[in-house]
Amino acid sequence: MAKRFVKISLAIKFRLLFGAAVLGIIAVALAVPWTFAARLAEQTAQRPGDELTRLRLNEWLAKHPTNIAAAEDTASSVVAMHTAGDARGRKGPLLIRLRPDMTTDRLDGPREQALRAFVGNVNQRVAMVRTEDDAGTTIYRCFRAVRVEQTCMHCHGATEPLERQYQPGQLVGIIDVAIPGEEAGGWMVKATWWAFIIGGVLSGLLAFFLFSLISHRLVLRPVRQLRNLADKVADGDLAVRSRVRTGDELQHLGDSFNEMLNAISSQHEKLRSANRALDLKLDELAQANVALFHANRVKTEFLANISHELRTPLNSIIGFADLLAESDDERTSRYCRNIGSAARNLLNMINDLLDLAKIEAGKAVISREQVAIADICKTLLALMQPQADKHRIVLHSKLDKNLPVISTDPGKLQQILYNLLSNAIKFTPAGGEVTLSAGQHATTRGGQRIKEVSISVADTGPGIPEAEQQRIFEKFYQAERSLTRSSGGTGLGLAISRELANLLGGRLSLRSSPGHGAVFTVTLPVDQD
Ligand code: ADP
């Protein structure tokens, strides 16, 4: 039996799906530390940034106590001053002095961000912005808000012109310090990040391995065993049984499978013994058939022999009865005519039986010769004319002009037509008509176009009911009608005619409806040129 093609095995499906699930879970799990790491980096950078900005502001204030005011006049809205970078390359504090009427268009992105934060929240002193330098390295920009304090007012208070007077808490500048990412603890963040990735991948691989192992033990192995079992059963091995011992649903499935196999095996056994009994019966039947065939053959041979033996004395009886029928004594003459007629009927019956026995025994010999259909029809019409006259039946003929000459047994064809014509005359009431017609036509049989000749005998008699149209071709069958029953006969004529038509390679058919006469047609093949 052809096995169904498995597109993808359960094991591969398990691994693919679980692998994808593990990858998804790891990705989601790593997204959390990713966010956490960024925050950690910021917090790590915030402390040194805080320290540095405070330190640098104090340094700067100590060194340039008056420069702020001096420089203030040189720029329109923002004044920037750098100290030189220190030995480790850290950029020194940048003080951005803010005038009250300042705008932000001369500040870069991070500064603007810090300014907004400081303006928005008067309590915020430090802001941290993560950015990259031109080389793409991470740097943290730490900003410290410089706000006016009470101590500032000692110098800048009443002595300042009115438009430059400050309020306590007012934002007057921002300290900007840049710290390289590495220094701000970036290495720690990176290390943490890599630890998460490696840990995630390792735990993913471990989970995958463990899952494969467990799924193989718990599911795949028993399923594979059950599949092998089913394959063996499909190949006709009913002795196999499931040995799955997992103690779960799969074992239950295997046990059910075993029970089903037990039931099938016992049914199979029953079927086998029924088959054996059937074989025996068939054997007996075949033997009975052979015996029947022999008995039939013996019967047929017996009939053929006995019929032959009966004909000789019957012919003598007919001959002597005919002689004695010419006696002067009226009574003797009548008796002898009765004897002659009964003996003739008996002879006809014996002749029919002999014919049938010969055909059934396969001893009927066909002697073919070229026969002109038109001639044979005319001969029969002439032969039947006296009988038709006697029954006061009008005999017609409708013969096509181009009737063929065919190779057939003329004696047997005549016998068929004689039977059909004498039946038609016999069963048609006086004053009726019988028509013999013949014609040639072409037909398709077995995909081949062949020529045939049909000879029909139609009458205007009582016709034959549908139910009897097949039965009248059986041996000894006579239709149950007063008219036909009273017409005598043996019920063998049509059976013999059909057998003879078949022997000649043709067929005999009937078309009839009660009250509208009957049409018997014998069809024979025309030899192809
Ligand atoms: P038989 O004529 O000796 O009875 P057949 O075999 O020739 O035997 O015919 C069988 C039966 O078929 C007849 O008894 C008759 O009932 C019916 N039959 C045959 N030919 C005709 C016919 N032309 N019209 C009506 N019935 C017919």
C-beta of residue 95 within 8 angstroms of C-beta of residue 173: yes
- Compute the half-sphere exposure of residue 35: CA atoms within 13 Å on the CB side of its CA: 5
Cα(396) to centroid of ligand 1, in Å? 20
Rounded to whole angstroms, how far apart are CA atoms 35 and 38?
A: 5
Q: How many whole angstroms from its chain centre is CA 216?
A: 33
Cα(405) to centroid of ligand 1, in Å? 29
Residue 421 beta carbon below 6 angstroms from any ligand 1 atom = no
Rounded to whole angstroms, how far apart are CA atoms 110 and 320?
A: 152
Rounded to whole angstroms, how far apart are CA atoms 283 and 515?
A: 50
Q: How confident is the model at residue 112, as a pLDDT?
A: 80
Residue 454 beta carbon below 6 angstroms from any ligand 1 atom = no
DSSP 86: -
DSSP letter for each residue of 194-236? HHHHHHHHHHHHHHHHHHHHHHIIIIIHHHHHHHHHHHHHHTT
Query: Measuring from atom 14 of ligand 1, which residue has the nearest CA?
Result: 478
Q: What are phi and psi of 344, to 5 degrees?
A: -65, -45
Q: How confident is the model at residue 17, as a pLDDT?
A: 85
Q: How confident is the model at residue 522, as a pLDDT?
A: 97
Residue 138 beta carbon below 6 angstroms from any ligand 1 atom = no
Compute the CA torsion angle 183, 185, 186, 187 (nearest 10 deg): 90
DSSP 35: H
Q: Point out the ligand 1 atom lying closest to the alpha carbon of residue 473.
A: 6
128 SS3 class: strand
Rounded to whole angstroms, how far apart are CA atoms 456 and 398?
A: 10
Q: How confident is the model at residue 484, as a pLDDT?
A: 46
Q: How confident is the model at residue 24, as a pLDDT?
A: 87
Question: How far, in Å, are 133, 354, 355 from residue 359 at the CA level?
Answer: 119, 9, 6
Question: How far, in Å, are 32, 87, 156, 175 from residue 63 at the CA level?
Answer: 47, 19, 18, 15
Q: Point out the ligand 1 atom lying closest to the alpha carbon of residue 419.
A: 7
Residue 408 beta carbon below 6 angstroms from any ligand 1 atom = no
Q: Which of 456, 494, 519 to mutate to test the pocket of ligand 1 (most atoms within 8 A of CB)?
A: 494
Cα(373) to centroid of ligand 1, in Å? 24
> What is the enclosing helix (H) or strand (E) of 299?
helix 249-324
- pLDDT single digits (tens) 165-220: 667 777 777 777 777 766 666 666 677 778 878 888 888 888 888 888 888 888 88
Cα(380) to centroid of ligand 1, in Å? 19
> What is the enclosing helix (H) or strand (E) of 397?
strand 394-399
Cα(492) to centroid of ligand 1, in Å? 9
Burial class (CB in 10 A: 0-12, 13-18, 19+), 433: middle
Residue in the block written with tokens 């400081």 = 118
CA nearest neighbour of 70 among 83, 62, 81: 81
C-beta of residue 415 within 8 angstroms of C-beta of residue 522: no
Rounded to whole angstroms, how far apart are CA atoms 331 and 319?
A: 18
Cα(487) to centroid of ligand 1, in Å? 9
Q: Point out the ligand 1 atom lying closest to the alpha carbon of residue 491.
A: 8
Residue 491 beta carbon below 6 angstroms from any ligand 1 atom = yes
Q: How confident is the model at residue 2, as a pLDDT?
A: 45
C-beta of residue 333 within 8 angstroms of C-beta of residue 326: yes
Q: Point out the ligand 1 atom lying closest to the alpha carbon of residue 424.
A: 23
Q: What are phi and psi of 395, to 5 degrees?
A: -100, 120
Cα(470) to centroid of ligand 1, in Å? 12
Per-residue model confidence as pLDDT tens for the chain (529 residues):
444 555 677 778 778 888 888 888 888 877 777 777 667 666 766 777 777 777 766 776 666 554 444 333 333 223 333 333 333 444 444 566 665 555 555 566 787 888 888 878 888 888 888 788 777 777 778 888 877 777 766 666 666 665 566 677 777 777 777 777 666 666 666 777 788 788 888 888 888 888 888 888 888 888 888 889 999 988 888 888 988 888 888 888 899 999 999 999 999 999 999 999 999 999 999 999 999 999 888 877 787 777 778 888 889 999 999 999 898 889 999 999 999 988 998 888 888 888 887 887 777 889 999 999 999 999 999 999 999 999 999 999 999 999 999 999 999 999 999 999 999 999 999 999 999 999 999 888 878 888 999 999 999 999 999 989 999 999 888 776 544 445 567 788 999 999 999 999 999 999 998 889 999 999 999 975 5
Residue in the block written with tokens 């037990």 = 262
Cα torsion angle, 153, 155, 158, 163, sign:
negative
